[in-house]
Amino acid sequence: MSRIRIGVVGTGYLGKFHAQKYAAMDEVELVGVADPDQAVAQEVAAANKTRAFTDYHDLLPLVDAVSIVAPTSLHHRIGLDCLHGGVDIMMEKPMTTTVEEADELIVLARAEKRIIQVGHLEQFNPAIMAMEEHLTTPIFIESHRIHTFKNRALDVDVVLDLMIHDIDIILSIVKAPLQTVHTVGLPVVTETTDIANARLIFENGCTANVTVSRISLDNIRRLRIFQPKSFISVDYGKKELTVISQEEGFDEAGQPRRTFHNSCYMEIDALEMELRDFVANVGKRTRPKIAGEEGRRALKVATEIIGQIQGHLDKHRKQLGL
């Protein structure tokens, strides 16, 4: 079987890792990488023994698929060009900056019979994948994604930069429509929101409390799920899963009987798993787990949260001293 020809559009912090992973796959021919910064493109190309392009349009006729790892504001334009050119796309999250842009890409992909896969990497975190068999009926979910400041991905606010990961996971866990959203957030370092909290209430009564920050002194990425007779905790960074299940009766000390399950999956590379999944979907023409529709779903909730936060800030800007 001939190898799948793949390119990478955008060779910044994350794009270079996409290139590395593809270059190491036997079933892939990394045709080239594209970036308007010629020096950066050439450096990544040389490291992965491939060609450098400064204009991604020159790369598209040569490939079957691409990873789009450019700034989010460019995803829509690049995605349209790829789909019109008959190229499958792996789009880093967030899919686009607006739901309308996402809709246009989804409609075009269907018409052209092309694949859109959205890079919600945490879906391939092995601890999250192992968690699925322990889920029953989540009642309360608590998520913290707290990061130190990094001078990148500042073209979007913290909701699209970080919270969208947790939104995507929660929407996949809770099997009910979202009913109401309550938010708070504010800019601290950048011109957009840097710290935010959202309380998501679903029609089945499940409530998720989600907190994100990109201006903290520590890095914490943790998910906790409370459900009847069990508690689940995931440490995203350590790729660690803990499950505590309530048993019948009490022990000799008068404490409730519990069983503990703890697993760590540090040896598994989530990005490699995600990109291998994309390559398999391209080769077999199968629907991705996180296709355009799932990317749009998370984006829709994220934009609602952003809108609420912005409305609150606009209303109270003088009192907040902004």
Give the residue extent of every domain in the chain.
Answer: 4-119+271-289, 123-268+302-316
- Residue 20 confidence (pLDDT): 98
Tokens at 54, concatenated? 């400064």
Do 4-119+271-289 and 123-268+302-316 fold alike per CATH?
A: no
- Which CATH code of 3.40.50.1820, 3.40.50.720, 3.40.50.620, 3.30.450.20 fits the domain covering 4-119+271-289? 3.40.50.720
- Residue 155 confidence (pLDDT): 66
Beta bridge partners of 146: 213, 220
Residues of the chain with pLDDT under 70: 1, 152-155, 316, 318, 320-322
- Buried residues in 89-127 as b, exposed as e (16+ CB within 10 A): bbbbbbbbbebebbebbbebbeeeebbbbbbbbbbbbbb
Q: Which CATH architecture has domain 123-268+302-316?
A: 2-Layer Sandwich (3.30)
